[in-house]
Amino acid sequence: MNLSPNRLIYFSLIGLIVSFIIHLLAVMYIYLISTSGMMIVTAGILIVWLQTSKNLKSITRANEDQHPWKYIIANSPQWMHYLFYFLILYAFINFLLIMDFTTGSGFIDLNVSQPKLRGLSGFWLVFYMLGILSGHASKKQIYPEESSES
């Protein structure tokens, strides 16, 4: 699957909004998503990550003197990379808050509790935001004259 930069941005934005809603509801103990719904949102991250890694490879080929992550951050609006940094920090702190060291039912437990959903959805936010940043940087690389006007 090869997504254009605009499609990657839209797909990631939809995933970010859905993840944010699920995360907010999990934080407020209102809703626990089904396992199949959780798998769909997680599969969306896989699609976003595969396209983002393709974008990183093309950015590396075009700008061998600059690290691709620095290129992505440098070619995104300032508020976007601040939001990305905030989401990384939030996901890490959220993960530390939900850590539970009690023994469970086994090594692999597919029953997702509210704290697990809260931690997982925090990481969904980071990955979908990364897709938006990657799509934006790729759009700037492919269409530099269009993106300088916006």
- Domain assignments of the chain as residue spans, ordered by start: 5-100+109-144
DSSP 150: -
Backbone φ, ψ for residue 102 (5° rounding): -80, 155
> Mean of the pLDDT values across residues 58-70?
78
Element (H, E) at 37: helix 35-62
Cα separations (Å) of 95 from 37, 48, 92, 121? Answer: 21, 22, 5, 10
Please identify which residue in the block is written with the tokens 């931690």. 119
17-62 pLDDT, tens digit per residue, is: 999 999 998 888 887 778 788 889 989 999 999 998 888 888 778 7
User: Angle at CA 133, nearest 5°, toward 73 and 4?
Assistant: 130
Cα angle: 65, vertex 68, 73; to 5 degrees: 115
Query: How many CB atoms sit inside 10 A of residue 81's CB?
Result: 16
pLDDT tens across 84-142, in order? Answer: 999 999 999 988 888 766 666 656 666 677 778 888 888 999 999 999 998 888 887 76
Measured in Å, how far apart are the chain's first and last C-alpha atoms? 27
Query: What is this structure's pTM?
Result: 0.83
Residue 110, pLDDT score: 65
DSSP-derived letter for residue 65 is T
Token representation of residue 34: 């089904």
